Each structure stands twice: as structure tokens, then as C-alpha cells.
Amino acid sequence: MKRMRITDLAPSASRLMPAQLGNAAISHGGVYVFKPGETAHPEPVHVHATAEVFIFVQGKGILPIDGVDYPVQTGDVVIVEAGEDHHTRSSIEDPLVAAWYVMADDQS
């Protein structure tokens, strides 16, 4: 896992995070609005073969990665590395909104 604030990003003309992800392209993604207290991917294990990026645009919550709880809040950017088990859990008082995207297989 890599964690930073959105203010730490140094975008190129065509990529948001070239220092962290090089010229890797996005495979798919979206924006998710959590219900209060909701956990994304409640199944026991949730992993990807490539990196997944979360940009938290509203609220607070917890991002458990490989069994360790990481607090997240508005403005946090987290890269979940390939193979890391992760499940996002929103707070009840200030639900999360997260932009998320999964990187394509070729990360050259």
C-alpha cells in the first residue's frame, strides 16, 4: 500500500500519478457513494492482479488492507498493490465517497 494526500500528486499532461504508476493506463473504475457504515466487498478476500487506486473525495472511513485498518478521509489517495486484500468501510457519521480505478495489466 502507498498512501498520500491529493496535494502530493504531481500530474503529467496525461497521467495523474506518473511518479507512482508510470505510464500505466486505467482498465476500469468509477465513483462510489457509500451508505453510512457500509463495507465494500464483504466477502472474506478481495484482491486484484493489478494495482487499484482510491481517491477519497468526501467523508471518513477505514481501509483494511491485509488485516491492518488504515483510517482514510477526504483528500487521501491510496494505492492498493496487486494481491493486497482490501475492503473499504465507511463511517456512520460522515459516509465516504470514493473515486476508484484499477490499472491495466501492462504497467510499463
Domain of residue 89, CATH code:
2.60.120.10
Diameter over CA atoms, the chain: 41
Whether residue 82 lies inside any domain: the answer is yes
pLDDT over 90, % of the chain: 69
Identify whether 87 is part of a domain: yes
Strand partners, 101: 29, 53
Residue 43 burial (10 A CB sphere; 0-12, 13-18, 19+): exposed
pTM across the whole model: 0.87
Q: Please determine, for residue 63, whether its predicted confidence score (pLDDT) is greater than 60.
A: yes
Per-residue pLDDT reduced to its tens digit, 18-55: 888 888 889 999 999 999 999 998 889 999 999 999 99
Domain count, the chain: 1
Q: State how far the Cα of 108 lies from the Cα of 50, in Å rounded to an integer.
A: 12
Query: Is 49 contained in some domain?
Result: yes
Residue 62: give the domain boundaries.
Answer: 2-7+29-102
- C-alpha R_g of the chain: 13
Domain assignment present for residue 63? The answer is: yes
